[in-house]
Structures are given as structure tokens and as C-alpha cells.
Amino acid sequence: MQTQATLIALLHGPDAPGIVARTSGWIFENGGNILHADQHCDAEAGIFVQRIEWSPAAADLEAESARFSAFAAQLGMQVKIAPSTARPKVAVLVSKQGHAFHDLMQRWRAGEMPCSVAFVASNHTTWAEETAQYYHAPFHHIPVSSETKPAAEAALLDLLREHQIELIVLARYMQVLSADFLNRVNIPVINIHHSFLPAFAGAKPYHQAYSRGVKLIGATAHYATPVLDDGPIIHQAVTPISHRHHVDDLVRRGQDLEKLVLAQAVRWHLQNRVLAFHNKTVVFD
Amino acid sequence: MQTQATLIALLHGPDAPGIVARTSGWIFENGGNILHADQHCDAEAGIFVQRIEWSPAAADLEAESARFSAFAAQLGMQVKIAPSTARPKVAVLVSKQGHAFHDLMQRWRAGEMPCSVAFVASNHTTWAEETAQYYHAPFHHIPVSSETKPAAEAALLDLLREHQIELIVLARYMQVLSADFLNRVNIPVINIHHSFLPAFAGAKPYHQAYSRGVKLIGATAHYATPVLDDGPIIHQAVTPISHRHHVDDLVRRGQDLEKLVLAQAVRWHLQNRVLAFHNKTVVFD
Amino acid sequence: MQTQATLIALLHGPDAPGIVARTSGWIFENGGNILHADQHCDAEAGIFVQRIEWSPAAADLEAESARFSAFAAQLGMQVKIAPSTARPKVAVLVSKQGHAFHDLMQRWRAGEMPCSVAFVASNHTTWAEETAQYYHAPFHHIPVSSETKPAAEAALLDLLREHQIELIVLARYMQVLSADFLNRVNIPVINIHHSFLPAFAGAKPYHQAYSRGVKLIGATAHYATPVLDDGPIIHQAVTPISHRHHVDDLVRRGQDLEKLVLAQAVRWHLQNRVLAFHNKTVVFD
Amino acid sequence: MQTQATLIALLHGPDAPGIVARTSGWIFENGGNILHADQHCDAEAGIFVQRIEWSPAAADLEAESARFSAFAAQLGMQVKIAPSTARPKVAVLVSKQGHAFHDLMQRWRAGEMPCSVAFVASNHTTWAEETAQYYHAPFHHIPVSSETKPAAEAALLDLLREHQIELIVLARYMQVLSADFLNRVNIPVINIHHSFLPAFAGAKPYHQAYSRGVKLIGATAHYATPVLDDGPIIHQAVTPISHRHHVDDLVRRGQDLEKLVLAQAVRWHLQNRVLAFHNKTVVFD
């Protein structure tokens, strides 16, 4: 439908009167037309957050982006800005379980995910052939054992830098990334955890849920941080279960949640709709 | 929490570049601080819609409201504006079934509904005593038969005008208001229909749902218009059912939906979050 | 609809072949007609659970109940049996917050809850007058401080025994019942906790949820046990929230969940649909 | 987990006292152990329905099936019986849109669907290559125009019979199957309709939903009958939408519903959990 590229800016910084007037004023004065503008003020934290999308008069999107960023910086705002046509480079990490991986790749193939999958990496070779033949994406096998973990993470880091990756998606990657890696990687990492966090953090959440006798199971997509399963939550969903469901059933039902929640979180991130601060997120849906 | 009154404006009119910049600019120049601003552009209809809430510098809210309205009119915008402390006068209509009525009145009593219930009217006396003794609201019994309907509606219209009512809530009022009444009343009328409209419009929707064998039942809150069950939808919700549920069960489960959906729709309306045009609504949640 | 009383039995015991055949055979041989029969086998625990409802040929329901119980005991089953017309005596405990209490009492008054509310008790007098005048139920004020807690619990225990109470409902009763009280009371106690347990057990769950930045809030109805917020879960529900919702909003939205979840759990319990073992429940919905 | 094959019978017929006792008695007398038994009596229709699963003492499942069927016929019951290891032959029909098709095939490949996909047929060649190379299933291209429709349906009928197909799945097959075809095909046909039926039957349901301004969109899996979009409903689900969602967004969000609802309906059917009568279904979940 959309024939012309727009610009999408995500701003945040200390709240002050007049920011909405100033950003919208700047766009108007520069001949742009605002398509969407959504803002939020976290009164406790004193932080202003805005997502604004406009069709600029200027043909040179890069120059307009630079000028807007400079202007916003004067307002004390940090800015992330991208044209609607941007396709960030993504690395997908997967282990043996393929449901979330295939769902994501099918969506990508069908044009649902505005990104470029630069490569797939795995500690197993389970999906090597399909990645190459069916999704036509490079596949890197990076085996991990407790001894080789530092070396494996270093190799992964090299790959990420070489490909100038902007987002890592953990599509049920069953290795805990070290705090050191997460501190150094310096790009967002989206993980899908198979429970309604903070309930059932850690290993085997479906078994934990079954033991506790909960009546709903969930899935949580969050940015990975050095503290396991504790990063800012992007999206969550649940589905009802009953005593008739065994752990196997929880796993199968949960997999559908995992797919939907991860895909939604990644799509929102790619559309510049998610801003994380103070270990929480604002999602401009 | 909120100690100072704010102003809330709901605007709509023909879309044009710069409206966001102008409204936010006006507020900034007048010393106000925007707390929330949400806008939507219906590209097909070419209509711009905005809800904006600010804490004004001026102490005289009425004067500020008048000035803002005059300004917005220059932009071609229709404006509804009210201070956050406004308590619009509401008339509640009910018949024999009390679930939605009691739920609404309990919420009002508990401070959940920012309005003043000016009176309750009913074609039955079922809830007369409780309305007076428990909710301390005036109760008007207006019996309706096919012969007396025009006179009954005229009496209701007189009451509404006498009390300067700003909103009518049909809390399972089992009389169809005539097109003539709805054309003349000139204030919003919110109705709760006990199905997921447009499925099962008209009489006995739970029986219709049971016969069709649907797996979900629903409730719909909408503005009443001269065409039965066809007005702009404000809110809808559904709940799963199975073959184990008889019509009785659908009725009981559905009543919980009706209560929640009606209360939510009325609250949104009272908070100036709902704007209806082209037989649809925009809800700034 | 239902004109004749039926019998409802809830059985559980060690699994063995032929139990379904034997219980249904007994009812058939005694001229009864099974209306509903639902069973579950917890393979890990080796426990068989059944809910069976039949219309007996015998007019003397008490005698038939006794005979069935004796028969089931021979199969090694524990039995809870009651006619569909039974109205167990219930005590409702409440503190200052009235939403769950009023919802429950309105439902009881409207005939939705098959029980008799023998009395309401509270550590405050907030709802004394309304309980008497509006719900026509006895009200007992039992103040509780850290010093008087043992005496208060003893007084409550006396009341419960005097009235032969069969179920206690904690409708947002803000006192933690002591392990000693719970060990001695010997009847089921249903509590509503305002979070999706096991997340956010303990005090101020909405504040905990807000801090953690979850995208869904929940409510949990469970049987109270000596370990706080750890008893068998009967029912849970959640509702989505976003960054736009402050703690106040979580509280208000959560209250609707609390009402629905508590009412559903109490109704299921009263209809003999819930069986708890191994700190989990089977709910025959 | 399950190491030994069980038998699953789905019975229905005129209600009469003692059926539960007789079927469970027969199994017990023949040395079988009931794992699950679920029954329902439609009081209005006077129809008894039961799903019963047992592990038989006899090693010859075919013989036991035949003996049980003969016994149930004596009770006036129609029986469908199959071992848990059965893998019915399924034909999948698809057009150009691949989301529901790929989802189903991925699930089948991952072992989630207990069936054998005997072939895929389409009025387009869009998915020919992938069906062959990735899913390793035969693909039949059967073009359909208004002139060739009778011939195309005849060709399809031949294929279905040749392969002894037991279930047809319409995974967004965009051709209306003729009443004549449906009357002759004599096996169940599961269709996914992209709305919450009976709302928005017929063409372009997302456009209809958008025009009407509903706040939820849905998907419905049902058995196809000669009356378009009117057959017995197996499963339905909905998801919330708002004014921010254009038709494109409804389509994308709806596709996720379609995938989940179709997969669930097909799985239930394959597990012998669905019984249709009087244009409604009983689903033993």
C-alpha cells in the first residue's frame, strides 16, 4: 500500500514542557506530514518517550534523519531513527527444537518480518540443510561445551561484527549466553522464555508449571540481560490448561504461544516500536 | 493521586498537515504541559482525530476551554472539551434483569465511574426500592406498552431535558427505543447487546448462539442508532463455551461479559476517550 | 429447568481397573440414570478421580447417598456426596475493600451461588450496615491486631463451629490466617490472591507487577494452606496491560479479574466440581 | 511416552439408561483398562455421545474393534473406532495463500498431526515445488475455471477415491466446492473461514469486519456442508483489534488465528474427539 518511504524516530530523554510541540513543529516547518505520533511520559522516572512517523518533504532521507537527530539532541533526547524501508541485519540462534525457528523463518520468507536474516547459528547441525536449501540463509555451526564456551562465544561475536548484525534473536537457543558476552555484544538480544515470567524462570518451566498446578501457561519475549530471564519484557501471552493436560501437552500448547509471542516481539522491535529503560519496555503498538 | 484538574479535548475534522504541531504549539505557548496526546488519521475518510490532555497554566479552566475551542475551530476541528473533574449527568435505564444495572451502580458508588447518576428509569418497578435506599438515586417508573410507547418516550424525553442529562446508559433495558426518540434525544445512548455483533442481532441472542453451535459467546457495547443493533461499536468481548453449556449457562456466562463490556464502554465514554464517526469508533485507550 | 433433585458424588482413591464400570454399574442396577460422568486418572500419582451425577430411582436421597458411599468405600474410594439441592453454609470474610465481597453477595442474592451465607465476618465495620440491611446476613466484627490475633482466630473458630460452616471464602480478607488456625479449621478455605501465582506471592502484588514490567496481570483463587499463597490453585485468569497503566489502573483492572475468578472458583466448589490432592486440583468443568 | 496402542471409540445414538455402565462393563469384562471416558447427553435431541479410550487385553486390535462395534450396535449406537496408532490419509487443498498450508505441513512434519498427508492439491502451482522438495508429498495441480469446475471436481473426486482419503483439509482453498461435490464426497471436509461465523460469512470477511468497525476479529474451523459457511463449527478464536489496524493488519493478525484454529480442529478430528450432529459438534477436549 505504502508507496513512499517514511521516517520513524524513537526518542527518549528527560521530560520537559513543550517537547511534543517542538518535535511536531520541526517536522511541520520542514514540510513533513506526521502520519503517527505516540508519546508516553513516565512520571515517576521523569522520562519522556515518543515514537513519531512522518513522510518528509526532503528526498534525501539520510540527511533529514541526521538533521532531525541533531535537533532532538538539543532537546536532550536520545534518538533512534530509520526509514520505513530499512531492513536491519538479524542473526537467528537456534538449537534442536525447531518450532520457533521455522515459524520465524516462514514469516520472514512470507515478507512479514522487515529485516534481513544475515545468518543462522546453532550449537547443533539439525537445521543446517534446511536453512541453506529452504530459507537460503547462511548457516554457522558453533558447537558449545562447558570447556569451549568462551571460544564459541568469541567466534559468535566475530561473526556478528563481521556481518554488522543489529539484532540477535534467540529462537529457543538452549545455551545461556554469558554475562560477559551480553555485556560486550552491544546490540539487542531478544529471547523467548517458555513461561509467564517472573513465574518459572530458569530450566524446565513447563515441568515447574505442571508441578505447581497452574491453570494457565505462558510465554515471555524479553531482551536478554546478564541476569538470566530478568531482562525487560516485550510481550507475554498465556493459554488455559487443565488437569487433563500432561507435561507433553503443556509443551505442545506452549510452543504455539512461543511462536506467536516471539514473532510479535521481533516484529515490534523491527518496526521501532519498542523502547527499553529501567528494565521495562514501552511498546507503541 | 491527581491533585490538579487537567483539560481533556477530543478533536476531529478534515486531515491537514501541521495539526499536531499547531495544537501542541498552542498549549505550549499558553504555558500548559501536555500529559497525554494521542492521534489517529483515518486515511480513507481523510479525518484527523486527537485526544489531548494537559495541565493548563491558567486557573480558569472554563476560559481556557473556550479559547482552545475557538482556536481548534479555526483549524476546522470539532471539539469536545472538559476538565478531568467533570462529572456528566447520566440516566440509567433498566428493566427486570438487574446484573448489568447493579454492576454499574456498584462501580459508580465505589467511585469507578466519573459521572453523576441523575436518575434511574425503568418500565418495571423491580429495582425501585433498592435504587432509592441503596444507591440513593431518584427512580422513575415509566411503564411501556405498544399503545403507550409514544407517550412513555415523550415522558422520558421530558425527564432527560429537565435533568440536562448528557448520557443515557441502557443497562439491559428491554424496550427498543424508537427511531423517532433516538433522532430527537440528541445525546449519546450506550447500549449493551448480549452477543458478538453483527452475529445474532435482535431478540434472544443466546438462543441463537446455542442453535448455531458457536464455540464463543460475546457481548457488544455500542451507541444506539435508529437502526437496531447497528450503531458504532465501542467495546466487545467473548468467552469460550462448549457442548456442555446449555442456554442457561450461556446466559449466566454472558452476563459477566455484559457487565464488564458495558462498564468499560461507559467509563471510556466518560473519560472522553471515544469518538464516533462513519458508524465506527476510535477509542483512545 | 431441573425439577427433580439429583445426586452428585466426587470420588477419589487408588486407581484400579473397572472402577468406571463398577460405579456406573451400581447406579444402573439401582435404577438410577447417569446425567453426567467425568473421570480423570493421574497416572503419575496412581489416583483415580470421578465426578458423577445421576437421578436416582429412590426417593430417599439420604439413604441412597449412604448406600453409594458404603459401596464406593469398598472400592477404596473416598466420597463426597450431596444432592443438587444442597445449600452448604458459607462464611464470608472481608476487610475494607468491598469489590469482591459485593460481587459475591450480589451473585448470591441473584441466585447464582448454591449456598447459604450463614454470616459475614470482618476485622473492620466498613460493610456492617450493608450486610445487615441489604444482604440480610448476620455480620460479626472481629478486630485483629498482632496481640489479639490468637484470640480473634479463636473467636472466629467458635463462630464457624457454632454455625456448622462448611466453606470459608476470603473475599479480599487482608489478614493472614495463622498456620495453627488453618490446621485446626478442618473445612476448605478459598482465597483470592491478586496476582497470577506463583508470580508475585505475598504483599502488594500489583506493585510488584508494575515494577517488573509484566504485560499481563492476573488473579488466582486457591485453597488456603499453612504456607502463604501456596495452596492448590482452583482458577486463574489474566488481562493485558501496557506502559500506559499505572499501579492504580492495575488495581482497578485487577479487581474485575478478582471478582470473576473468585466467583467462578466458589461456584465450582459449591457444585462439587473441585477435588484437591497433592497440592493441585482437578476441576470438572 | 505411550508405548502401547490403545483403542479409541466415538459412539452416538439414542439416549437410554445404562449405556455408560454397559460400555464400561464390556471393556472391564474383556480385560481392558479405561484410560479416558467422556460422555455427553444432549437432552433436547435425546442423543447420547461418548468417547472412550482403553488399553485392551487382546493383542488383536482389529478383532477387538470389530467385537466392540458389534456390541455397541446392539445398544443402538453408531461407532467410529480406531487404534491410537492409526494415521488416517488426508488430502490438503490450498490456493495461493500459504500461511495455513505451511503451518499445517510444518506441524505434520514435526509429528504434531497424527495423519498421513497422501497428497496436496491446488488450483495454482504456487506451492508445487515446495510440496515436493520440502514436505515430500505428491502435488496435484487441478486448475479451476467456471467452465472446468465440474471436470475439476470430478478429477479431484477420482484422486480422493484412488488414495482412499479419509479427510479433506481446506487450508485457505479459495474455490467454493459445489453442493454436488460435497454430497458425493462422503468424507469429512474441514474448512477454515477467516471470520467469527456466523458474522461475515462469504467473501472478504476482513473487509466486512473493517467496515463494520468490530473490535475483535476471528477465525472459524467447521465441517463444510452444501450451504456455504454454515456447517458444524469445530473451533473458533478471536483477537482484539483497534482503530489503528487497517485491513492489511486484520489480514496479518487473522492469519495467525487461522493457523491455530485450523491446526487445532484438524488435530481434534484426527484424535477422534469431534462428533457432529444436528449441525453442531461435540468436542471431547
Among residues D48, D83, D118, which one ends one of the domains? D83
Average pLDDT, chain B: 95
- Name the domain count of chain A: 2
Among residues B83, B102, B117, which one ends one of the domains? B83
**For residue D101, pLDDT beyond 70:** yes
Assess whether A258 and A144 both reside in one domain: yes
**For residue D4, pLDDT beyond 90:** no
Is D1 among the domain residues? Answer: no
Assess whether B131 and B166 both reside in one domain: yes
- CB spacing of C24 vs D28 below 8 angstroms: no
Mean pLDDT, range D80-90, rounded to an integer: 97
Assess whether C126 and C65 both reside in one domain: no
Distance CA(B13)–CA(B37), nearest Å, equals 16
Distance CA(D245)–CA(D1), nearest Å, equals 44
Contact D131, D94 (CB under 8 A): no
| Predicted local confidence at residue D3, as pLDDT | 57
Contact C105, C92 (CB under 8 A): yes
C partners (3+ CB pairs within 8 A) are: A, B, D
Pairing state between β C116-122 and C189-193: unpaired
| Predicted local confidence at residue A232, as pLDDT | 98
Assess whether B96 and B171 both reside in one domain: yes
| Predicted local confidence at residue A2, as pLDDT | 45
**For residue A3, pLDDT beyond 60:** no
pLDDT band at B252 (very low <50, low <70, confident <90, very high): very high
Mean pLDDT, range D88-99, rounded to an integer: 97
**For residue C3, pLDDT beyond 90:** no
Comparing alpha-carbon positions, the chain A residue that sits nearest to C198 is A199
- pLDDT tens, position by position, C153-175: 999 999 999 999 999 999 999 99
Instruction: Please report residues of B whose CB lies closer than 8 A to that of A37.
Output: 20, 37, 39
**For residue B57, pLDDT beyond 70:** yes
Average pLDDT, chain A: 95
Distance CA(D181)–CA(A81), nearest Å, equals 56
Assess whether A63 and A101 both reside in one domain: no
Side chain identity at residue D60, one-letter code? D
Mean pLDDT, range A66-79, rounded to an integer: 97
Among residues C83, C102, C120, which one ends one of the domains? C83
Higher model confidence: residue D285 or residue D272?
D272
Mean pLDDT, range D241-267, rounded to an integer: 96
Contact D58, D64 (CB under 8 A): yes
- pLDDT tens, position by position, C68-94: 999 999 999 999 999 999 999 999 999
pLDDT band at D1 (very low <50, low <70, confident <90, very high): very low
pLDDT band at C2 (very low <50, low <70, confident <90, very high): very low
Assess whether A62 and A107 both reside in one domain: no
Contact B171, B262 (CB under 8 A): yes
**For residue C54, pLDDT beyond 70:** yes
Active-site amino acid positions of D = 229
- CB spacing of A20 vs B39 below 8 angstroms: no
- pLDDT tens, position by position, B189-231: 999 999 999 999 999 999 999 999 999 999 999 999 999 999 9
Distance CA(D233)–CA(D282), nearest Å, equals 9
> Over the Cα atoms of chain B, what is R_g?
20
Mean pLDDT, range C30-38, rounded to an integer: 92
Is D2 among the domain residues? Answer: no
Distance CA(A6)–CA(A242), nearest Å, equals 47
**For residue A251, pLDDT beyond 60:** yes
Pairing state between β C167-170 and C139-141: unpaired
**For residue B2, pLDDT beyond 60:** no
Is B67 among the domain residues? Answer: yes
One-character DSSP codes across chain C: ---S--EEEEEEEE--TTHHHHHHHHHHHTT-EEEEEEEEEETTTTEEEEEEEEE-S-S-HHHHHHHHHHHHHHTT-EEEEEETT---EEEEEE-S--HHHHHHHHHHHTT-S-SEEEEEEESSSTTHHHHHHTS---EEE----TTTHHHHHHHHHHHHHHTT--EEEESS--SPPPHHHHHHH-S-EEEEESSSTTTT-SS-HHHHHHHHT-SEEEEEEEE--SSTT-SPEEEEEEEE--TT--HHHHHHHHHHHHHHHHHHHHHHHHTT-EEEETTEEEE--
Is A2 among the domain residues? Answer: no
Assess whether C96 and C216 both reside in one domain: yes
| Predicted local confidence at residue C224, as pLDDT | 97
Is C1 among the domain residues? Answer: no
Nearest-CA distance C49 → chain D (Å): 11
Nearest-CA distance A1 → chain B (Å): 12
- Which residue's C-alpha cell is 473458630? C157
**For residue B82, pLDDT beyond 90:** yes
Instruction: Please report residues of D whose CB lies closer than 8 A to that of C35.
Output: 41
Assess whether C258 and C176 both reside in one domain: yes
Instruction: Please report residues of A whose CB lies closer than 8 A to that of D130.
Output: 134
- pLDDT tens, position by position, B143-196: 999 999 999 999 999 999 999 999 999 999 999 999 999 999 999 999 999 999
Reported as half-sphere exposure (CB side, CA atoms, 13 A), residue B258 has a value of: 25
Q: How far is CA C54 from the centre of its chain?
A: 23
List residues in chain A touching D: CB distance below 8 A.
1, 98-99, 102-103, 106, 110, 112, 130, 133-134, 244, 246, 248, 252, 256, 260, 285
| Predicted local confidence at residue C58, as pLDDT | 87
Distance CA(D196)–CA(D257), nearest Å, equals 10
Instruction: Give residue D176's domain range.
Output: 89-283
D42 burial level (CB within 10 Å; 0-12, 13-18, 19+): middle
| Predicted local confidence at residue B1, as pLDDT | 41
B partners (3+ CB pairs within 8 A) are: A, C, D
Assess whether B189 and B241 both reside in one domain: yes
Is A1 among the domain residues? Answer: no
Is D258 among the domain residues? Answer: yes
Contact D128, D141 (CB under 8 A): yes
Distance CA(D166)–CA(D51), nearest Å, equals 19
Partners of C82 in the β-ladder:
C8
Distance CA(C95)–CA(D62), nearest Å, equals 63
D12 burial level (CB within 10 Å; 0-12, 13-18, 19+): buried
| Predicted local confidence at residue B3, as pLDDT | 57
Task: Pick the residue of D260, D266, D283, D284 with the most A CBs within 10 A to test the interface with A by mutation.
Answer: D260
| Predicted local confidence at residue C67, as pLDDT | 97
**For residue A30, pLDDT beyond 80:** yes
**For residue B115, pLDDT beyond 90:** yes
Helix (H) or strand (E) holding B140: strand B139-141
| Predicted local confidence at residue A268, as pLDDT | 97
- pLDDT tens, position by position, A212-243: 999 999 999 999 999 999 999 999 999 999 99
pLDDT band at C1 (very low <50, low <70, confident <90, very high): very low
Assess whether A66 and A170 both reside in one domain: no
Contact B216, D239 (CB under 8 A): no
pLDDT band at A1 (very low <50, low <70, confident <90, very high): very low
For the domain that residue B19 is a member of, what is the CATH number?
3.30.70.260
For the domain that residue A259 is a member of, what is the CATH number?
3.40.50.170
- pLDDT tens, position by position, C79-134: 999 999 999 999 999 999 999 999 999 999 999 999 999 999 999 999 999 999 99
**For residue D259, pLDDT beyond 70:** yes
- CB spacing of C35 vs D41 below 8 angstroms: yes
- pLDDT tens, position by position, D206-237: 999 999 999 999 999 999 999 999 999 999 99
Assess whether D166 and D199 both reside in one domain: yes
Looking at chain A, how many residues does it have? 285
Assess whether D155 and D42 both reside in one domain: no
**For residue B37, pLDDT beyond 50:** yes
Distance CA(C123)–CA(C142), nearest Å, equals 5
Q: What is the pTM of this model?
A: 0.96
Distance CA(D208)–CA(C87), nearest Å, equals 49
Residues 6+ apart with CB under 8 A from A150: A178
Nearest to A169 by CA among A215, A232, A221, A214: A221
Phi, psi of B41 (to 5 degrees): -120, 120
Instruction: Please report residues of C whose CB lies closer than 8 A to that of A40.
Output: 243-244
- pLDDT tens, position by position, A184-213: 999 999 999 999 999 999 999 999 999 999
**For residue D152, pLDDT beyond 90:** yes
Is D212 among the domain residues? Answer: yes
Distance CA(A82)–CA(A89), nearest Å, equals 13
